Structure formats: C-alpha cells, structure tokens
Amino acid sequence: MPTGARRVCVAFSGGLDSTVLLCALAQVRSSEGLDLRAVHVDHQLQPSSSAWAEHCQRIASAHEVPLTVIRVEVEKGSEGLEAAARKARYDALRGALAENEVLVTAHHASDQLETILLALVRGAGVRGLSAMAGVQQFGRGWLARPLMEFTREALHAWARKQQLTWIEDPMNEVIGLDRNYIRHRVVPLLRARWPASELASVRSARHLSEAQDLLDELAQQDTTRAAIEDCLDVSVVEQLTSARRRNLLRYWLRSHGVRAPSTRKLASIEHDIVRAARDRTVRIALDGAELRRHRNVLYCVARVEAASPRAPLRWPIRTELELPDNAGTLRLEAQMGAGIRADALPNELEVRFRQGGESIQLPGKTHHRTLKKVLQEAHVLPWWRSRLPLLHAGDKLLAVGDLWVDAEVAARAEEPGLVVRWINKPRIHAVARSGASC
C-alpha cells in the first residue's frame, strides 16, 4: 500500500479473490486506521449481473463496508469483448476514485503468472513482461494490489476457513478466452513441475519493472537532449544507437498518450522519419495520432481524417463556431480599434478552407500577396495550411483565423471592431530550433 494511505476503495466483483480482499481489509481497518469502502462495476453482460450486484451489497453490508454499484455499457471494439469490459471497468473505477484515495484490486501471484505468459506469447517487451505493478498512480489517487504475495490456492483456503461465500462467474471456465486457457491448461502443468512458479513470477516481474525504470531514465535523458518544446530534433535522434533510438521513441510517444507501436511499425518510423532525407515531409499514422516530420523536427499530432475539399461553414457572427477535426472554436469579441471593422461584417460569415489562389493584404502593406507565400513565411505547419479557417463575406477574404485581418477591412483607431478569438487553438506554427515557436 502507498505510504500513509488511509482512504481505501476495494474493487469488489463478488468473486473469490475480491471477497477475500474485502473481508481481510474489514478485519484490519480499525487497527490500521483505514477509511474503507467498496465499488462494484456491473458490466450488464450476464443475465444474472443484477443478482451479482445484490450479492455484493449483502456481503459489504455484513462487513459494514459502504458499497457503490456502477453500471456501465460495454462496447465491443477491435480487441474483443474481454478487453472492452476491462476498459469500461477501469474507466468507471478511475472516475469513482476520490483525491489521494487508494483503489485496491485482488490481483495475486497466480494472476501475475498468467499475465506474464500472455505477454510472452504476444511478443511483449520489457514493459509488457513486467506485468502488473504492486502500486502505481491511478486517476486522482493510487492503485494497489496487496495480495500479490499469495496464490489463488492460498486465498481459497483462507476463504474456506473464514466461511466466506462468493460468486462463480461462468465466463472464468470458457477455455476459448486466452487467459482462461492459460489458467486451466498451462499453469497446472507449470505448477506440477515447478510448485513455486507463481511466486517466482512475481519476483521476475519486479526485476523487469526495475529494468523498465532504468530504460525510462535513459529515455528521459535522451528526450531532454533531443527536445524542442514537445517535439524531437531528428538530428539528435539520428546520433543514437538503433536500440536507444527505439527506446526514446517509445517513451516520447507514451508522453503524448500514444500506445507503443508494434516492432514493425517502430521500424517503419525509424526508416521513414529518422532516416529520411532532411527536406522530405513524412507522415506516419499511429493509434489515434500521427507522426509528422518537418524541417528535421518530429511532431506527434492528433490524427485527422482527410476531407478534401472541406465544405464551407456558415457562421452567424453572434454565435461561436466549432471547427472540424477538434480544431477549437471561433468567437468574435467587440474591441475598439482592433480586428475587423464592424461595418464590414454581415450578420453571417462563411468560413472556407484554402483551395489555392487566395490572397490577402497584410496590415501596413499596399498590395495583396498570395496566402500560400504568407503562410510559408509565417512558418505555419504544412498540414495546417489547408485547415486554417478563412473568414469570408461573399467572395471577400476578411481574415485568416486569428492570424491576420485584411488591411481593407481592418478597424483603425477609434473605429469599432470585432476581434477573432480562437479558443483551444492547436499548435499551427513550426517550432524554432532555439525552442521558441516561430
């Protein structure tokens, strides 16, 4: 348990393991000074799920532990129903956790061995093989697994001695599920030959976790050297050995909330982005994001499904306009002597996206220039140039996002104007080699 932890929430499924955990903690809460409660997540996947929730309520009440029941909708994704249910469960538990509260789960040594074997047959690296940590940050608090030193058989013996009752989930017997196959077909063979294999797996996971911590420390040092804001200087990344470069890329992608790519995808990133010609613009799609290389800098940006050409948007000027691709919101605010002249604005604008051939007269200039050239000189990132909102009144280009107002319609001193505000504006400019945005 985290040092000094007092507020504890049990993830209570009603099965053997979590019943042991709940009852054991209830027995020591006074001596340990614990503020104990429980949460049951009802996945609504079994006809008897409501009865399971009622059973959990009875057990919790019998031990004077407050219980919250959370019902979730499980949407099966590409990774299967089991993974979808797990995600829904942890999302619900994360949301239910209070500040600095510790969520405790009943994972034990037998679970750890199963997890390591699953990771092994799936070709996981050090992080995957380190399996489940004993304590880790989770939501607004912590997640702890205090039963890691016990096997499933030890918990079963204790439950019988305490005369506990629990739910038997029929899904745990379905051999077609990977974890169940390992549990019922593989682990018994290992235990018969090596009786201490489950507890040994806990030690191995700890060793691997320490190794991963060292890899992360090295990646953090390399990231510090290569970082330009939250991007990477490719010329620095190129100097690393291949193994160290891949370690850095995994770490950097995780810092952007991107799941570590497969070995094949990582090799593709190395080849197409790190080793590409310096003047080449490269794009690689990832899980929910994409990597872009521009002027020897590596960017990790939100993935956008190309929509070409993007349809114009109607914008009543007294409302806010939400831009496509989660690109933020536009709003007009009155300001004297700034923005677009109020008398140049109709009640409704049309927001278009660049098709080519547009021009604008910048403030202080006497002639129009192509928008293409202006965007290049302003170091607007290439993948943003066709996505910038162009404010039109009829065929007249009034403004480019919140960047520029055409000089012909710009409010002068003492003239009422409306300033474009771009709320939740994404990064649209390239980073400078010095670390400051252009």
Predicted confidence (pLDDT) per residue in 364-394, tens digit: 888 999 999 999 999 999 999 989 999 999 9
Rounded percentage of the chain residues whose pLDDT exceeds 90: 76
Unique residue bearing structure tokens 């140049």: 344
Classified by CATH at the fold level, domain 7-204 comes out as: Rossmann fold (3.40.50)
Strand ranges of the sheet holding 329-336, from the earlier edge strand across to the other edge: 321-322, 329-336, 416-423, 340-341
Which pLDDT belongs to residue 434? Answer: 55
Task: Please check the confidence at residue 81 and state whether its pLDDT lies above 80.
Answer: no
Number of H helices, E strands in the chain: 13, 22
Task: Please check the confidence at residue 435 and state whether its pLDDT lies above 50.
Answer: no
Helix pair angle (152-161, 109-121), 10° resolution: 150
Sorted by sequence, the CB contacts under 8 Å of residue 127 that are 6+ apart come out as: 212, 260
Which pLDDT belongs to residue 303? Answer: 81
Question: Six-digit token pair at 129?
Answer: 């093989």
Distance from C-alpha of 75 to C-alpha of 143, rounded to nearest angstrom: 24
Question: Six-digit token pair at 248?
Answer: 């850095």
Q: Which of 12-16, 115-119, 156-160, 274-278 has the lowest mean pLDDT?
A: 274-278
Sorted by sequence, the CB contacts under 8 Å of residue 18 that are 6+ apart come out as: 10, 11, 12, 105, 106
Overall pTM surpassing 0.85 (yes/no): no
How is the chain split into domains, by residue range?
7-204, 229-302, 313-423
Which pLDDT belongs to residue 270? Answer: 87
Which pLDDT belongs to residue 78? Answer: 63
Write out pLDDT tens, residues 56-79: 999 999 999 999 999 998 887 667
Unique residue bearing structure tokens 């504890």: 8
69 and 110 in contact (C-beta within 8 Å)? no
Q: Confidence class of residue 309 from pLDDT cuts 50, 70 and 90?
A: low
Classified by CATH at the fold level, domain 229-302 comes out as: Chorismate Mutase Domain, subunit A (1.20.59)
